[in-house]
Structure 1
Amino acid sequence: MTTTAGPSSPSVRNSELDANAPTGSVPPRSVGLPADALDTAVTAFMTASPVTRRWDVERDFDWAAADADRLTDGQRSAVRFISFIEDHLPGYFAVYGSRFPLDADVDVETFLLNREIYHFTVRWAAEEDSHARALFRYQVESGIATAESLRRELAVEGRKEFSLPHDHPAALFAYTLVQEKATQIYYQNLRAVVGDPVLADVLNRLSRDEARHFTFMADMVELYLRTYGDAVVEPMRDAIAQFRMPLADTLGGYWRWALRIADTARYDHTEAYEHLVRVARRAVDAPSERVDELERFVRAARAIPA
């Protein structure tokens, strides 16, 4: 599965970006991109996962063979940790609903743009919900947890609000680009070390989905750069400066737990920062001080010890 940005319009140089960029900022509560460009990005995402390639929680895994006794304590802990992250989907979905609303309070132009991004959001949410359900099912079938106790644990955390400190939509998509890539990398690394083939199968399917989600986010970041020029690099930089993985500020014992799962399978979410820089370089292919500064900032951020 490719993890680079999917098909989109050819890169343009900064002079062309500046000439074609809208004079104002992104309208409030709008995705702020051309509808036809959004349609192209969404269609590419949908095409990358036709019905014949989608997987099903109930039918595509040998749940009867799931066996947590084949896992180390650290691997069991990692499964529990990522289950909390994936299960918080209602909070993630609500962010998109509030940032790009579809109601009578927005004008027709805003509605039609937000409606285009909604086509992606509902498919993305369905896939992420399948991730949560697959991890829930694995824990129950393998003997890590009982359905009743796990359901209640997830509900306690799921009630907590999820929010992001980003006003600019380019920052939201840059954040999600990094988050999806970091998650994909961890799932791949965890899959390589787990002793239960059923869990390895689950993680393989999850990581492939996250790769496709990353690809879409990369396309969106490129669209912002091609539409608004490198002026949107600053909001993307802010997304890195304030970056926290989901639930970092709400899940009890998050940082200690995160260190433990990093010991279980190699994990460094700052590795995903580099992919944001590559996307920016590809979209803005002429020399750009702002992109240079973004790259310097990422290098500095990655140099800070955990």
Structure 2
Amino acid sequence: MGITDTACALLPVDEVVGAVDGFLAASPAARAWDVETAFEWGRADAGLLTEGQRSAVQFITLIEDHLPGYFDVYHRYFPVDDTVDPSTFVHNRELYHFTVRWALEEDTHARALARYQEAAGMAERGALRTELAVEGQRPFDLPYDHPVQFFAYALVQEKATQMYYQHLRDVSGDPVLGAVLSHLARDEARHFSFMADVVGRYLRTHGDAVVDPIRDVVAHFRMPLADTMRGYWRWALKIADVADYDHTEAYEHLVKVIDRAVDTRTDRVDELVRFIDQCRKVA
């Protein structure tokens, strides 16, 4: 598959290297955490949560556990095989250094949330695996054809996820769940920083040429699994009430990225910022 027909729209490989090196330097392996030892699982108690908070944990576990589908998107659109020319391969291979680290961390999130459900008495492990497989087998894709769109989408999604985890942590009745959510939120914040860095580099490198692709992401934005999970919107509204969640809060961070990347706004960039602000106000 790959984005071979828009290879000219890719970032120069040195820009990718700069973003990836910066992320990895800020995320040394020595600072990583693991599911087995980072939390006092014996103290986990779902009885300390409201029904809404338990529902929120179930929801975000399903979302995080779809990691194989998310990772597959990067593999298909930024392939590291003989379906792309050598220069595109080099670009994708450098990006792969980030995506494998990102995937490891996101998979750890899925495992931590599943472990919490088991330890807190919310679910039996075998039954939970079966439940997660129902959504996990559903396909996931992003309808984009410009490379910047994958990073602009993830910028909003990662920041929105980080903010929700922080909100849910702040109202959680179980300190163990609070600790889990703090770890997840910190990871999502770093993932957002990488995506923001890449989007900023696209804006500085390609200027107005990436305005319309970014606008399209905002215009049709949906959080992961919104179009495939049965009952998604009803469930999403329920968990939003639990922890004051609105994904459009992340849009202001996209505007900040644009402002940092663009010294002098062009008419098209001005229009993009106005559009983003309008989407936030409407929501």
TM range (shorter): over 0.9
Distance 1:78 1:42, change over 3 A: same
Tell me which residue corresponds to 2:109.
131
Deviation track 1:69-107 (CA, whole Å, cap 9, x = no partner) reads 000000000000000110000110011001111111211
1:102-113 pair list within 5 angstroms: 102-113=80-91
In structure 1, C-alpha distance between the alignment counterparts of 2:9 and 2:278, rounded to whole Å: 30
> Which of 124, 147, 161 is the aligned partner of 1:183?
161
Distance 1:29 1:162, change over 3 A: farther
Distance 1:82 1:30, change over 3 A: farther
> Which of 220, 234, 256 is the aligned partner of 2:198?
220
Distance 1:30 1:60, change over 3 A: farther
What's the TM-score, normalizing by structure 1? 0.89
> Which of 218, 227, 231 is the aligned partner of 1:249?
227
What displacement does 1:26 show? 8.1
> Which of 64, 69, 77 is the aligned partner of 1:99?
77
Tell me which residue corresponds to 2:173.
195
SS at match of 1:187: helix
2:256 is aligned with 1:278: yes
Of the structure 1 ranges 197-206 and 49-58, higher mean CA displacement relative to structure 2 is found in 49-58
What displacement does 1:30 show? 7.8
2:96 is aligned with 1:118: yes
2:120 is aligned with 1:142: yes
What's the TM-score, normalizing by structure 2? 0.96
> Which of 269, 276, 279 is the aligned partner of 1:298?
276
In structure 2, C-alpha distance between the alignment counterparts of 1:200 and 1:30, rounded to whole Å: 45
Q: Is the 8 A contact 1:26 1:32 kept in 2?
A: no
What displacement does 1:29 show? 6.0
1:45-84 pair list within 5 angstroms: 45-84=23-62
> Which of 2, 9, 13 is the aligned partner of 1:35?
13
In structure 1, C-alpha distance between the alignment counterparts of 2:181 and 2:208, rounded to whole Å: 36
SS at match of 1:192: helix
Q: Is the 8 A contact 2:4 2:84 kept in 1?
A: no
Tell me which residue corresponds to 2:185.
207
What displacement does 1:31 show? 7.3
Root-mean-square deviation (CA, aligned residues, Å) is 1.4
* Deviant stretches of 4+, over 6 Å: none
What displacement does 1:288 show? 1.5
Gapped runs of 5+ residues in structure 1? 1-24
What displacement does 1:275 show? 1.0
Deviation track 1:110-152 (CA, whole Å, cap 9, x = no partner) reads 1111000000000000000000000000000101111111100
What displacement does 1:27 show? 4.9
Deviation track 1:19-50 (CA, whole Å, cap 9, x = no partner) reads xxxxxx98536871122221111111111111
Of the structure 1 ranges 166-175 and 202-211, higher mean CA displacement relative to structure 2 is found in 166-175
Distance 1:26 1:280, change over 3 A: farther
What displacement does 1:292 show? 1.2
Q: Is the 8 A contact 1:29 1:101 kept in 2?
A: no
- Structure with the bigger percentage of helix: 2
Q: Is the 8 A contact 1:30 1:113 kept in 2?
A: no
2:235 is aligned with 1:240: no
The number of equivalent residue pairs is 281
In structure 1, C-alpha distance between the alignment counterparts of 2:27 and 2:265, rounded to whole Å: 35
Identity %: 63
Gapped runs of 5+ residues in structure 2? none
Q: Is the 8 A contact 1:86 1:129 kept in 2?
A: yes
In structure 2, C-alpha distance between the alignment counterparts of 1:51 and 1:104, rounded to whole Å: 31
